[in-house]
């Protein structure tokens, strides 16, 4: 096994059991193929085993901090442990994330279960090299009907091709997700992410428990938040025509009677909207994919929050989400504070929201907390 030596900065990160080591944190590396497993050292001290990729800015992705390591034993253990940790969720849904990348011990591996379908992503050179072995374990442990690979553009940063593929058996084109008694149609092969926003499951339930009459569901995707609300009236705003068709099907399938679907850009919609609501959900795509784009993202979020507050009745709720690690709770709170001051209104934080437990967040892996949100309540200030 080849050795890679980290510098002092890399050593300090590894002492905290952080798992990503960047190119500037490497002191010396031996000639290594993309995705090869190496042993990390600081001076002469062995520290961890990691996937290594000389083509990536993230040079090393730690797999294990243990003294001994066997990849075949580790794969079996990691996948089995991840599956067992999620057993309880099967009581409320037939669709969940079975493996969540670094937080489950294999950087770049994502496995989502939709009934007896598995949809996977192999986003790093390390797990891509192990794809065959991982598929064999998934077949043996879960006995799926089929396994489909959904590629992400992030693979390009690892020097990998971006192409979807059927890896085993047969996978449904369209699948109905059953979740907390609700049903949602999703396209497993062509839909966003691996088909459905499974990470918002708990947040849909929290927001849906509010007693409200008029709801505005922005960036509605397949309409999950609006459907959960069971409100007297729901307006869905979604820019994708295909998603609007999904919203129509999901609304009808779940017995929604009074609703409107607006196929429009959310920013332009808010600029012209005159109606008021008891609950507004703002769940945009990732604005800040890295630290360099945070400033622009903050402007976008502030526009959405400020204009959303304008359309909210006193006593009404606003749920706003960020799916970017670079914009978290602090940034959302700062924006709400700024907006409340400018609008001379009071915003009460009702809930801090994050991804559901099948997308685990480990404190030593900061990037594993990628979905954050606030549920706030608006009150007019009495003069």
Beta strands 45-52 and 372-380 are unpaired
CB atoms within 10 A of CB 296: 11
Q: What is the CATH number of the domain that holds 14?
A: 2.30.130.10
Q: In this structure, are 126 and 55 located in the same domain?
A: no
CA distance 98 to 104: 9
CA-nearest of 26, 34, 19 to 4 is 26
Q: In this structure, are 163 and 202 located in the same domain?
A: no
CB atoms within 10 A of CB 272: 7
Q: In this structure, are 75 and 56 located in the same domain?
A: no
Q: What is the CATH number of the domain that holds 349?
A: 3.40.50.150
| 181 in a structural domain | no
Q: In this structure, are 57 and 90 located in the same domain?
A: no
Q: What residues make up the domain containing 351?
A: 197-380
Both structure tokens of 305: 């929050």
| 376 in a structural domain | yes
Q: In this structure, are 215 and 76 located in the same domain?
A: no
CA distance 161 to 184: 31
Could you list the mean pLDDT of each consecutive 10-residue stretch along the chain, which spans 383 residues? Answer: 96 97 95 96 96 96 95 97 96 97 97 97 97 98 97 93 96 95 92 79 97 97 95 97 94 96 96 96 83 84 96 97 92 96 96 97 95 96 70
Q: In this structure, are 207 and 348 located in the same domain?
A: yes
Both structure tokens of 141: 């442990």
Q: How many residues does the chain have?
A: 383
- Name the domain boundary from 48, 64, 80: 64
| 179 in a structural domain | no
Task: Please give the pLDDT value at position 290.
Answer: 66
CA-nearest of 305, 326, 334, 318 to 370 is 326
Start-to-end C-alpha separation, the chain: 71
| 189 in a structural domain | no
Whole-number CA gyration radius for the chain: 22
Q: State residue 351 phi and psi, 5-degree precision.
A: -150, 145
Strand partners, 261: 236
Burial track 218-235 (b if 16+ CB lie within 10 A, e otherwise): bbbbbbbbbbbbbbebbb
Q: In this structure, are 352 and 207 located in the same domain?
A: yes
Give this prediction's pTM: 0.93
| 182 in a structural domain | no
Q: In this structure, are 98 and 42 located in the same domain?
A: no
CA distance 375 to 216: 14
Task: Please give the pLDDT value at position 192.
Answer: 63
Structural domains counted in the chain: 3
| 155 in a structural domain | yes
Contact predicate 87/93, CB 8 Å? no
Residue 146's H or E segment, with its range, is: strand 146-149
Q: In this structure, are 136 and 168 located in the same domain?
A: yes
Contact predicate 320/334, CB 8 Å? no
Q: In this structure, are 352 and 374 located in the same domain?
A: yes
Contacts of 37 (CB under 8 A, 6+ apart): 1, 49, 50, 51, 52, 63, 69, 71, 126
CA distance 239 to 301: 17
Both structure tokens of 4: 């890679």
């Amino acid at each position: 096994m080849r050795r890679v030596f980290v510098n002092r900065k890399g050593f300090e990160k590894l002492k905290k059991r952080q798992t990503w080591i960047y190119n500037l944190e490497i002191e010396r590396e031996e000639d290594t193929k993309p995705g090869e497993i190496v042993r990390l050292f600081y001076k002469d001290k062995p520290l961890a085993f990691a996937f290594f990729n000389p083509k990536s800015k993230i040079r090393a992705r730690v797999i294990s901090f243990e003294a001994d390591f066997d990849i075949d034993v580790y794969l079996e253990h990691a996948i089995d442990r991840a599956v067992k940790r999620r057993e309880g969720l099967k009581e409320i849904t037939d669709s969940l994330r079975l493996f969540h990348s670094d937080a489950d011990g294999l950087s770049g591996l994502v496995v989502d279960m939709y009934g007896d379908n598995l949809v996977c992503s192999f986003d790093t050179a390390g797990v891509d090299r192990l794809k065959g072995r991982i598929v064999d374990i998934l077949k043996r442990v879960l006995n799926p009907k089929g396994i489909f690979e959904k590629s992400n553009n992030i693979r390009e940063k690892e020097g990998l091709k971006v192409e979807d593929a059927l890896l085993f058996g047969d996978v449904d084109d369209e699948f109905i997700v059953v979740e907390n008694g609700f049903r949602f149609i999703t396209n497993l092969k062509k839909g966003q992410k691996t088909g459905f926003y499974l990470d918002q499951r708990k947040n849909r339930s929290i927001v849906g428990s509010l007693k409200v009459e008029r709801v505005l569901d922005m960036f509605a995707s397949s309409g999950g938040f609006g459907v959960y609300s069971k409100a007297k009236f729901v307006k869905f705003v979604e820019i994708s025509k295909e998603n609007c068709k999904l919203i129509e099907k999901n609304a009808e399938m779940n017995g929604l009677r009074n609703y409107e679907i607006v196929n429009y850009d959310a920013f332009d919609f808010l600029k012209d909207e005159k109606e008021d609501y008891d609950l507004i959900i703002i769940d945009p795509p990732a604005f800040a994919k890295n630290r360099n784009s945070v400033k622009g993202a903050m402007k976008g979020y502030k526009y959405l929050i400020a204009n959303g507050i304008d359309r909210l009745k006193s006593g009404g709720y606003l749920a706003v989400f960020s799916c970017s690690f670079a914009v978290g709770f602090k940034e959302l709170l700062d924006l709400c504070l700024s907006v409340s001051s400018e609008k001379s209104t009071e915003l009460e934080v009702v809930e801090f929201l994050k991804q559901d437990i099948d997308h685990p967040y480990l404190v030593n892996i900061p990037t594993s907390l990628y979905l954050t949100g606030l549920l706030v309540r608006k009150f007019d200030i009495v003069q």
